[in-house]
């Protein structure tokens, strides 16, 4: 008969920005998703948040438990935990799934076993979110790239459509 030890799963670890809070999660996570909702946007100060969701029993705080503060959202009852030293968002607990917790993907040191292929509140996606547009170096500012100007891309489109026309003619 096959016996299964709970601790036999591989572990992935993570931390907050200042390092006071450390945690570990059994690998793999249940799922990973992008959250475009207003609440997560504000809580992260970012255009959207990317979470890894896992079962509560598969996640442990290994250091800095006392540095964690909790904020409860009045309208939804959701609880967001963060490091009170550096402000890093740590855990997002939604009322609809109490046995699951969600941890920002960015805090993990390594892969979590799930790609963030799901989106929540996509209708709230902001028009200033980077959507993979082609980028070019910004002249005079090393390390800075920017979206091609509309003028240029229109000219490129014209060239492209001209070449398509000629190749299809």
Task: Compute the distance between CA of residue 136 and CA of residue 145 in angstroms, rounded to an integer.
Answer: 5
CB of 106 to Zn ion, least distance (A): 13
Listed ranges 76-84, 104-112, 116-124, 142-150: which one lies at the site for Zn ion (CB under 5 A): 76-84
- Given candidates 12, 14, 16, 32, which one binds Zn ion under the rule CB under 5 A? 16
Q: Residue 79 in contact with residue 71, Cβ under 8 Å?
A: yes
- Given candidates 12, 14, 20, 112, which one binds Zn ion under the rule CB under 5 A? 20
- Given candidates 13, 47, 61, 85, which one binds Zn ion under the rule CB under 5 A? 85
Site membership for Zn ion, residue 84 (CB under 5 A): no
CA 42, chain centre distance (Å): 14
Q: How many residues bind Zn ion (CB under 5 A)?
A: 6
CB of 15 to Zn ion, least distance (A): 8
Task: Compute the distance between CA of residue 82 and CA of residue 49 in angstroms, rounded to an integer.
Answer: 14
Strands (E), the chain: 11-15, 22-26, 31-35, 49-55, 59-63, 68-72, 79-83, 89-93, 100-104, 118-120, 135-137, 145-147
Listed ranges 12-20, 23-31, 128-136, 140-148: which one lies at the site for Zn ion (CB under 5 A): 12-20
Chain contacts with Zn ion (rule: CB under 5 A): 16, 18, 20, 83, 85-86
């Amino acid at each position: 008969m096959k016996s299964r030890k709970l601790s036999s799963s591989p572990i992935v670890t993570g931390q907050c920005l200042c390092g006071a809070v450390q945690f570990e999660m059994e690998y793999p996570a249940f799922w990973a998703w992008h959250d475009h909702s207003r609440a997560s946007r504000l809580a992260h100060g970012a255009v959207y948040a990317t979470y890894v969701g896992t079962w509560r029993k598969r996640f442990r705080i290994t250091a800095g438990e006392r540095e964690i503060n909790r904020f409860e959202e009045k309208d939804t009852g959701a609880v967001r935990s963060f490091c009170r030293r550096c402000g890093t968002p740590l855990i997002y607990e939604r009322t609809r799934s109490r046995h699951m917790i969600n941890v920002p993907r960015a805090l993990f040191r390594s892969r979590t076993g799930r790609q963030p292929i799901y989106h929540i509140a996509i209708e709230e996606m902001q028009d200033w979110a980077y959507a993979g547009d082609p980028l070019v170096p910004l002249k005079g500012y090393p390390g800075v790239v920017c979206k091609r100007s509309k003028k240029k891309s229109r000219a490129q489109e014209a060239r492209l459509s001209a070449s398509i026309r000629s190749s299809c003619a």
